[in-house]
Amino acid sequence: MKDLFGGVEGGGTKFICAIGPDAHNILAEDRFPTTTPQETLDQVIGFFRKHDNLAAIGIACFGPLDLRLDSPTYGRLLSTPKAGWSGADLLGRLRQAFQIPIGLDNDVNGAALGEHLWGAGQGLDTFIYLTIGTGIGGGVFAQGNLLHGLLHPEMGHIPLPHDRARDPFEGTCPFHGDCFEGLACGPAMEKRWGQRAESLPEDHPAWDLEASYIAHALASYIYSISPQRIIVGGGVGSVPHMLKKVREYTRSLINGYIPSRSIQDEIDRFIVPPGLGNRAGVAGALALARQAFQKDL
């Protein structure tokens, strides 16, 4: 019999709990609105109490999270604009309730690990998972492990060339204004064009500008991290006609400098949508559970 894992995908509007041996076999699932940490985590714990045969639990949650092992606030949310959640002790609450291994990471790192196990990152040892939606975030899987470093990468906040003659929009990032996220996340598109990104027609100039920003970011990641693949997901990132443009612009920006077939001839397989589609979040949580279980063996 296969080991059963529990996964929690913690989001700003809802928490999704699932149980299964892997991302393709979910045996039970439930979702709860994100209210207070006390109430939401009580519901999460109640869900898993109904299943007493779990090998481990994984939590893939919105951040920022304190993931420094030597920190007194390890496993808690750091300062977050989500009301009431700053300092919430995610790991502590779950550890108090369950005496099994519990893994915790941010949602994009979880999604990267899920894609590595069951999706578009299978067989690779270094790749990037980038999500472009309400915000922009990236997880880096580097030489077989999720990259954490000082805290964790913040790939949505890199500076980009911003031609104000072409795009006078000042950007939406409260910290940087016109960083990548400030120029290219869903809310930035909506503010710039006066309508939601998903309602913009395929021939709208918004998509060309969006693809060009994303391509500049991807070129920077390719130069600095040398990924074997870049997975682009999220509500804006996964629009197929835009991803096609992103590939063309990325190859053109790199201009032959990286002597790899992946970029020169096979960019369709190098910049790809998530293999797990919109299941990446739950898959990520199950992947973190599996990782916690294996580390504990």
Chain residues that interact with Zn ion, rule: CB under 5 A: 157, 173, 175-176, 179
Alpha-helix runs per DSSP H in 119-239: 180-184, 186-193, 205-225
Using CA atoms, how far residue 258 sits from 130, 151, 181, in Å, is 21, 29, 26
Assess contact for 66 and 78: CB atoms under 8 A. yes
Between 11 and 159, CB nearer to Zn ion: 159
Assess contact for 50 and 56: CB atoms under 8 A. no
- Nearest-approach distance from CB 173 to Zn ion, in angstroms: 3
Between 184 and 285, CB nearer to Zn ion: 184
- Nearest-approach distance from CB 181 to Zn ion, in angstroms: 5
Between 174 and 240, CB nearer to Zn ion: 174
Using CA atoms, how far residue 12 sits from 38, 83, 126, 269, in Å, is 15, 10, 29, 32
Between 95 and 157, CB nearer to Zn ion: 157
Assess contact for 143 and 102: CB atoms under 8 A. no
- Nearest-approach distance from CB 45 to Zn ion, in angstroms: 35
- Nearest-approach distance from CB 174 to Zn ion, in angstroms: 8
Using CA atoms, how far residue 94 sits from 37, 48, 69, in Å, is 12, 10, 17
- Nearest-approach distance from CB 180 to Zn ion, in angstroms: 7
Between 59 and 173, CB nearer to Zn ion: 173
Cβ atoms within 10 Å of 175's Cβ, excluding its own: 9
